[in-house]
Amino acid sequence: MLSYTEWKHVFKLDPAKELSDEDLEAICESGTDAIIIGGSDNVTLDNTISLLARVRRYSVACALEVSTLDSITPGFDYFFIPTVLNAGDPRWITGMHRQALKEYGTMMNWEEIVTEGYCILNSDAKVSSLTEADTALNQEDVEAAAMLADRLFHLPVFYLEYSGVYGDPAIVKACADTLKDARLFYGGGIKTTEQAAEMAAFADTVVVGNIVYEDVKAALKTVKAVKNNGSDDGKNV
């Protein structure tokens, strides 16, 4: 299994959405580096376990991106823990985390835990309303968020989240230039090979989500586009 520090392309699958066995097989066997299971609403223990079991038929790495306490279950290669750096509601910065650690703190394998410093930039995304994110950020503000994640908090991942819309490549580049150690994850609105390649030039890891459910053939094409155009700064590998 590839360490998450080497992932260039990832599919994010939502346990609350339907995906046929045929499409799931194509996604898992596509050459992507990993499957992240996660979503911002209607994620339950049942739909998480069900999707995990289906993905486990394949050898691809599989991570849970934890968004609710109820959906935490063993069996993943990694547990990605978001903290939303521009959240208005502190529960999504450290509140839920402290609650989770009361329950799981003594039984954690810390090697499997990867904290993601999220910066949410699409005001229309569900995740934006959920966390009451302050999305009115200019490039300088986003660079400061990247520095906060990387230099001040030493988070392993800074996640530029445009969920649902294609982001601004200039901002993604600025973050790539700002980060020293943290890996840059980019996610949001990727529908074409051109978009996938453009973001792969700056981001360490490109996350492809909703298009899987809209046009699986287009989703599959993003794998090669990313792998052939990825940034290669040797960070953290």
Ligand X SMILES: O=P(O)(O)OC[C@@H](O)CO
Nearest approach, Cβ of 232 to ligand L4TTDIOY (angstroms)? 26
The verdict on whether residue 159 carries a ligand-binding annotation is yes
Long-range CB contacts for residues 132-138, cutoff 8 Å, separation at least 24: 132/87, 132/88, 132/89, 133/84, 133/86, 133/87, 133/88, 134/86, 134/87, 134/88, 135/86, 137/86
Secondary structure of residue 119 in the 3-state scheme: strand
Nearest approach, Cβ of 193 to ligand L4TTDIOY (angstroms)? 21
Question: Residues in the site for Mg ion, rule: CB under 5 A?
Answer: 209-210
The verdict on whether residue 162 carries a ligand-binding annotation is yes
Give the one entry of Mg ion, ligand X, ligand L4TTDIOY, none that residue 154 binds, where binding means its C-beta sits below a cut-off of 5 to 8 angstroms depending on kind: none
The verdict on whether residue 30 carries a ligand-binding annotation is no
The verdict on whether residue 70 carries a ligand-binding annotation is no
Task: Rule CB under 6 A: say whether 81 interacts with ligand L4TTDIOY.
Answer: yes
- Which CB sits closer to ligand X, 137 or 151? 137
Chain positions 113 to 142 lying near ligand L4TTDIOY, rule: CB under 6 A, are: 118, 125-127, 130-131
Nearest approach, Cβ of 234 to ligand L4TTDIOY (angstroms)? 28
* Rounded distance between C-alpha atoms, residue 56 and residue 60, angstroms: 8
Chain positions 137 to 196 lying near ligand X, rule: CB under 6 A, are: 161, 163-164, 187-190
Nearest approach, Cβ of 203 to ligand L4TTDIOY (angstroms)? 16
The verdict on whether residue 163 carries a ligand-binding annotation is yes
Nearest approach, Cβ of 118 to Mg ion (angstroms)? 13
**CA dist 224 to 34, 35, 49, 138, 179, Å?**
14, 16, 29, 31, 25
Secondary structure of residue 36 in the 3-state scheme: strand
Long-range CB contacts for residues 233-236, cutoff 8 Å, separation at least 24: 233/176, 233/204, 235/179, 235/180, 235/181, 235/183, 235/204, 236/5, 236/156, 236/181, 236/183, 236/204
Binding residues for Mg(2+): 14, 40
